[in-house]
Amino acid sequence: MTKEDKPLRADARRNRARVLEAAEAVLARDGVAASMRAVAQEAGVGLGTIYRHFPTRETLYEAILVARMERLVEHVPALREAEDAGAAFFGFFTDIVDNATRMRAVADVLADAGIDVKAGMSEVGSAVRSAIELLLVRAQQQGAVREDLRMPELLALLGAVCMAAERHQWEPELRDRTLGVVFDGCRPHH
Amino acid sequence: MTKEDKPLRADARRNRARVLEAAEAVLARDGVAASMRAVAQEAGVGLGTIYRHFPTRETLYEAILVARMERLVEHVPALREAEDAGAAFFGFFTDIVDNATRMRAVADVLADAGIDVKAGMSEVGSAVRSAIELLLVRAQQQGAVREDLRMPELLALLGAVCMAAERHQWEPELRDRTLGVVFDGCRPHH
Amino acid sequence: MTKEDKPLRADARRNRARVLEAAEAVLARDGVAASMRAVAQEAGVGLGTIYRHFPTRETLYEAILVARMERLVEHVPALREAEDAGAAFFGFFTDIVDNATRMRAVADVLADAGIDVKAGMSEVGSAVRSAIELLLVRAQQQGAVREDLRMPELLALLGAVCMAAERHQWEPELRDRTLGVVFDGCRPHH
Amino acid sequence: MTKEDKPLRADARRNRARVLEAAEAVLARDGVAASMRAVAQEAGVGLGTIYRHFPTRETLYEAILVARMERLVEHVPALREAEDAGAAFFGFFTDIVDNATRMRAVADVLADAGIDVKAGMSEVGSAVRSAIELLLVRAQQQGAVREDLRMPELLALLGAVCMAAERHQWEPELRDRTLGVVFDGCRPHH
DNA sequence: TATGAATGAGACTTCATTCAT
DNA sequence: GATGAATGAAGTCTCATTCAT
């Protein structure tokens, strides 16, 4: 706590951000084979600097995930007020998939390492989860989404589509057609 | 041709099979980080034996993939004659997902290595594809699947669900609920 | 340029030198079979350190060769001014042979690897060549060496004697007697 | 003794010869990196067959050396009767160098392995040595070679030139020019 | 604080040699 | 006797992480 909250010096914060950004890029390029040295080079900092901010490979990747999620959640307040709850729900789903392009490699690495992703980032993680749930419930109340759709399968679908979108580099059209099927499956009345 | 078809000695074939089996298990357990030595130990053979049968890490993984697919395609002839084309289609989809539990790690590794998966196994690969297409068309003819569903998004969905099922070790119930949504999205009349 | 010339940190330079020295010793002891690990142990550094300085086995061997040659060329300026050009010529030849005691294993390895030795060290390599040629010409002008001796056969002889001296660990007396024959063959008037 | 003298079956002897020949070729091609498997393939026999005839890598290489030397010694009886003892001596020297094209790689390997070449083939080895000595003495008696040339330096020169000729693939002209210098150094009157 | 040199475990792969077929 | 499958030690090289500068 004490350590965590100490505000970083300006240059330190700048370095932290550069490393994070570089790590995303390198991960997207090299996949699981990404090396810390490559990240350092991309970020234009020394190896030691990375380890100052992220004591471990896993710590770094987790931070990326958290950053991504924070970016996602930024959209939520606006969506929660939206008139058309169905559009908000499906729109957020699509947003997440779009963002996933680089997200999966990260989750992958964490999962491979046997790390419980939720452990290190429960806060922001559950923020995303809450956001999804909120939008889901509202959409169901407006009758835009079937009543019997529950969070587990929703998250499963979301995860599946994100993974695939990233690995196979879906074109926008393919993404739309595929999500179309999934969304139809989410709608009521069968 | 002659060289390729020369039947392996009994013990050699046995070992080849053991390696393949062990590799699947280890891959499922350790993910992309799986090492050849671990496979050798699991198979109870020497490291060299693996390399005799599969000159390269990639060769081994590809062989696993091919074996999996061959196992899948075995089911097809029966399904193609089924009365209820819809049930056959959705059943095969489910089969594939079940089989995928260990399949993804393999595809992953190949993809990471920049290997064109289709290259090494075009035959059996396209056999699976053909089987899916066949069942799809029949199901559409019987009105069990919507007319506008095309192969690209079907394969995209299938891939997505397979990946996720493997990585997150879906319980049977979760699998059913998730596939339920997808299948509903595939059905006509919306 | 800028990157290349950046002076190494003191400890890094010390290590580089130690590796080079150790590699020469190990190569002399173990011949072509010398392993990187053996070099690391002899140098008292980690394996990784070697690879930091010499990204490849061949790079290391080439560096040794270059170092040797540089040491040789140091003698040249003095010799070029010598009164007795014949003594200078034959003296330099002998020097090279003495230095060759450990040099051949290196050239060997490079040759085996199909590496063009001249490629990586053209500068210092041709410096040696030039030095030899210079001393040869002066010796011929003074009548100490026969006029029809040309560089190709001179280098061939030099190479041959160096190889043999190294491999068979010539005693000083044997070296003198053998070089005596060769030198007589180089002298005029037959 | 008992084992050694048992005459081989016809096919066995044929195989032995094929292996020997193949080994020479492979050694010439791949140098020290030559592998037993490569020899087996070149010979068109199984790996086991090689090991039946030559229980060890070194044994095989030694056998090659012996075979080469036997071939050399065949020429000797004729030379020993020659009128011009100088021509006979220098001719034999040249012969050996020509034959050396492939011989050195073998000697190399043996030397690298710390094997005393003379040990395993003392008989034929000393036959060559005797032949050289014989021709040397006769040439000295006829005044074609200087009196003070002794075997040690003669063998040293021979070895040196053989090595170099093989490694650097001397062209005939270069060989003649180089041997010319050496031979001049061997002649009397300086 | 930032840097990057050093470390060494561990990955992949080769190859001499043994031994079941 | 011949074959080639199996073995595993050993080699080269990579990379996460530590620590002197």
Residues D147-171 have a mean pLDDT of 87
Answer whether C124's CB lies under 8 Å from C70's CB: yes
Q: Which residue of D has its CA nearest to C28?
A: D112
Give residue B82's region: left, alpha or beta (phi > 0; psi -120 to 50).
Answer: beta
pLDDT, position A124: 60
Which residues in A lie closer than 8 A to residue B184 (C-beta atoms)? 184-185, 190
Which residues in C lie closer than 8 A to residue D165 (C-beta atoms)? 160
Query: For A50 and F14, how far is CA from C1' in angstroms?
Result: 19
The answer to whether the CB atoms of B178 and A170 lie below 8 A apart is no
pLDDT tens figures, A45-63: 999 999 999 999 989 988 8
For residue C165, name the pLDDT band (cuts at 50, 70, 90). confident
The Cα C85–Cα B51 span in angstroms is 62
The Cα C30–Cα A180 span in angstroms is 68
Q: Tell me phi and psi for residue A95, to 5 degrees.
A: -55, -50
Residues D140-164 have a mean pLDDT of 92
A28-42, C42-56, C62-76: which range is least confident on average? C62-76
Encoded tokens for D76: 């000797």
Counting residues of chain A whose pLDDT is more than 70, the rounded percentage is 82
pLDDT tens figures, D67-78: 887 888 888 888
Q: Compute how many other C-beta atoms are within 10 angstroms of the C-beta atom of residue B18.
A: 17
- Degrees, nearest 5: CA angle B110-B112-B113: 65
The Cα C181–Cα C186 span in angstroms is 9
pLDDT, position A170: 83
A and C touch per CB criterion (3+ pairs under 8 A): no
Give residue B102's region: left, alpha or beta (phi > 0; psi -120 to 50).
Answer: alpha
Counting residues of chain D whose pLDDT is more than 90, the rounded percentage is 44
Return the DSSP state at A142.
T
For residue C3, name the pLDDT band (cuts at 50, 70, 90). very low
Round to the nearest angstrom and report the end-to-end CA distance of chain C: 53
Residues B20-42 have a mean pLDDT of 89
Q: What is the 3-state secondary structure (H, E, C) of A158-183?
A: HHHHHHHHHHCCCCHHHHHHHHHHHH
Which residues in D lie closer than 8 A to residue C186 (C-beta atoms)? 181, 185
A184 vs B32, B159, B185: nearest CB: B185
The answer to whether the CB atoms of B168 and A183 lie below 8 A apart is no
Q: Compute how many other C-beta atoms are within 10 angstroms of the C-beta atom of residue D170.
A: 24
Query: For D39 and F14, how far is CA from C1' in angstroms?
Result: 33
Judged against a pLDDT cut of 90, whether residue A150 lies above it is answered with yes
For residue C1, name the pLDDT band (cuts at 50, 70, 90). very low
Distance to chain C for D25, nearest Cα, Å: 16
C18-32, C131-145, D40-54, D88-102: which range is least confident on average? D88-102
Encoded tokens for B50: 């693996």
- Degrees, nearest 5: CA angle A100-A103-A104: 95
Residues C111-134 have a mean pLDDT of 66
Taking each helix axis from N to C end, the angle separating C57-74 and C117-141, rounded to the nearest 10 degrees, works out to 20
The Cα D80–Cα D137 span in angstroms is 11
Residues D158-175 have a mean pLDDT of 85
For residue B6, name the pLDDT band (cuts at 50, 70, 90). low
